[in-house]
Structure 1
């Protein structure tokens, strides 16, 4: 997984990230969007397009935001 969508998406869900993703790796879950790390090509377009700054590179997640990586993994494993 390269990029992770975090808590700001839960209230916003603007979908700008979906529009710019060249490989269609972003899917809408029940309460937020998720990035499929198996498909993502690490282009960074989603991070730049997010109007609320909800997207972080996995290695830049704070410990508090680690739960969003776990949440994305669970989403795509179901």
Structure 2
């Protein structure tokens, strides 16, 4: 379990293809099942997403993408939290 106290940027190298089947868990709430999604592959592009802070949670990978090994050399996803000095 962990949380993201601050807003953040997620930077991801996107080549399309299958996503992982994940389960998003939060204390005292039912698990949110997020099934895998199939999509066409394409030439890789960088995607940047602004993310709001998140309360305590954990993410369980139920099953990795089918084509995970094909993209093993791709850059990993990077999440950068924006922290403020107080």
TM interval, shorter chain, is under 0.3
The structure in which a higher percent of residues are strand is: 2
> In terms of Rg, which structure is larger?
2
Q: TM-score, normalised by structure 2?
A: 0.26
The structure in which a higher percent of residues are helix is: 1
Bigger relative contact order, structure 1 or 2 (CA pairs below 8 A, ≥6 apart): 2
